Amino acid sequence: QVQLVESGGGLVQAGGSLRLACTASGRSFSSYAMGWFRQAPGKERVFVAAIILSGGITDYADSVKGRFTISRDYAKNTVYLQMNSLKPEDTAIYYCASVATRGVLTAPAAYNYWGQGTQVTVSS
- Beta bridge pairs of residue 93: 39, 119
Per the CB < 8 A criterion, the answer to whether 79 and 22 are in contact is: yes
Mean pLDDT of 44-68: 96
CA 68 to chain centre: 10
Q: Residue 39's pLDDT is what?
A: 98
3-class SS string, 92-122: EEEEEEEECCCCCCCCHHHCCEECCCEEEEE
Calpha distance 22→48 (Å, rounded): 14
Q: Residue 64's pLDDT is what?
A: 98
Residues 63-112 have pLDDT tens digits of: 999 999 999 998 888 999 999 999 999 999 999 999 988 889 999 999 99
Q: Residue 66's pLDDT is what?
A: 98
Q: Which long-range contacts (C-beta less than 8 Å, at least 24 apart) are formed by 67-76? A: 70/34, 70/36, 72/34, 76/23
pLDDT at 47 over 90: yes
Residues 7-37 have pLDDT tens digits of: 999 999 999 999 999 999 876 667 899 999 9
